[in-house]
Amino acid sequence: MGRIEMRHLARPGLKMEHLVRMTDCTGMIQHAVHSLPDRFTGYTTDDNARALIAALKLYQQGFGPEALRLAEGYLSFLHYAQTDSGEFRNFMGYERRWLESEGSEDCFGRALWACAQTVTSLPGSPLARVAGRMMDKSMKNVGDLGSVRGRAFALMGLHDLVSFHPEQNRAYHLLKNLAESLAEDYRSTSDSGWYWFEDMLTYSNGILPMAMFLAYSATGKRRFLSIAVESLAFLTEVVFPRGVLHLVGNKGWYRRGGARALYDEQPVDAAAMVLACLAAGKVTGKPEYLHLAECSFQWFLGRNSQNRALYEPTTGGCYDGLTPDGVNLNQGAESLLAYMLANLSLAESRSAAGTTAARSGTS
């Protein structure tokens, strides 16, 4: 890995305009044509779960009643998406008809994470009570998760719940079992030169080491920390080949022993890298992880393989990807929410660091 760029472009302030633009009375619309919501594409639980987390963070960071109103709408969508068995449907057409009887495991994990964020962000509120009941309804399905990312997202939600309610023994045991299963995947797949959970690097890669950092935080098991540190170091080596973030492309991904795809790079992957590094910094206390999180965020602002900014300050949106020819000019929900969650999480981390410094009397 080359020397990682030290100079940072100023992080823009947060704007709600595009979030509001992409949201109607049903929920978050999936795609956009440039900045215009593309109603033909309908809605997904994936996006509404991400939007719920973003709206809660906006509310906590002072964006007021409008952010809370949006959070209510996104939680209502998730509530409608949940089935009697505690699973979640994902794709809904614009006419409000579900297009499937059950969504993916990633969708389930993201929904669980969003519900946990609601419980911990708005304690004692009606929204928190609804989200808590939804989590209780879904818990019985956690042990059936097979996909590594579905398990990682679910673990992230369980970690939030256990951190806030340490008496949640059921959630703790489910978290520990998920972490053990991810550790077994890592043990059976990784070897010299390939320190990963699968034989392929694909999307949202950062959430896998992030989940292991959180697992260590909850359980104190050093094995989980060792896996988290080693896998994040491996991922960093891959995606910072010349000191600037160059994500694994979705046109073929990166299979062990093969050539990595260089494009298209996706905003959701940059956000996952930011979140992973912030989790690493919080758990270990090492400032280099916060620096790496900031460097990863710079991808949105133009420090990337094309030297093109993906954040669009006029609309408050984010372009849908980085291609060999520049940016994909559409500004859909996933990209917007990736940018917002990365920005909000960095602001949250900086605020927490400032509070800690003030309490300790340092500057």
* CA 50 to each of CA 34, 84, 153, 240, 303: distance values in angstroms, whole numbers, following the listed order: 20, 22, 11, 26, 25
Domain spans, the chain: 17-356
Task: Residue 57: name the closest of 19, 28, 89 by CA.
Answer: 19
Q: Show the tokens assigned to 86.
A: 């505690």
* Mean pLDDT of all residues in 26-47: 98
pLDDT, average across residues 167-180: 96
351 pLDDT tier (thresholds 50, 70, 90): confident
Q: Show Cβ contacts of residue 58 under 8 Å, excluding neighbours closer than 6 positions.
A: 14, 16, 67, 70, 340, 344
Q: Is the pLDDT of residue 46 over 50?
A: yes
Mean pLDDT across the chain, nearest whole number?
95
pLDDT digits (tens, 9 = 90+) for 297-338: 999 999 999 999 999 999 999 999 999 999 999 999 999 999
Q: Which burial class, exposed, middle or buried, applies to 188 when counting CB atoms under 10 A from its CB (0-12, 13-18, 19+)?
A: exposed
State yes or no: pLDDT of 354 exceeds 80.
no
User: pLDDT, tens digit, for every residue of 146-156?
Assistant: 999 999 999 99
The amino acid sitting at 68 is L
pLDDT for residue 140 is more than 80: yes
Query: What is the spatial distance between Cα 189 and Cα 233, in angstroms, rounded to a whole number?
Result: 16
pLDDT, residue 4, reads: 67
User: Which pLDDT score is estimated for 3?
Assistant: 62
| pLDDT more than 70, % of the chain | 95
Task: Provide the greatest CA pair distance for the chain.
Answer: 57
Q: Hey, what CATH class is 17-356 in?
A: mainly alpha
Residue with token string 């393989």: 305
What local confidence, expressed as pLDDT, does residue 11 receive? 83
Task: Supply φ then ψ for residue 157, to 5 degrees.
Answer: -65, -45
CA distance 292 to 236: 9
Q: What is the pLDDT of residues 187-236, one digit of tens each?
A: 999 998 999 999 999 999 999 999 999 999 999 999 999 999 999 999 99
pLDDT average, residue stretch 41-46? 98
What pLDDT is recorded for position 17? 96
363 band by pLDDT with thresholds 50, 70 and 90 = very low
pLDDT tens-digit series, residues 238-279? 999 989 999 999 999 999 999 999 999 999 999 999 999 999
Q: Look at residue 350 in the predicted model and tell me its pLDDT.
A: 83
* CA–CA distance, 237 with 243 (Å, rounded to integer): 9
Whole-number Å distance between alpha carbons of 122 and 168: 18
**pTM, entire model:** 0.94
Burial 253-273 (b: 16+ CB within 10 A, else e): ebeeeeebbbbbbbbbbbbbb
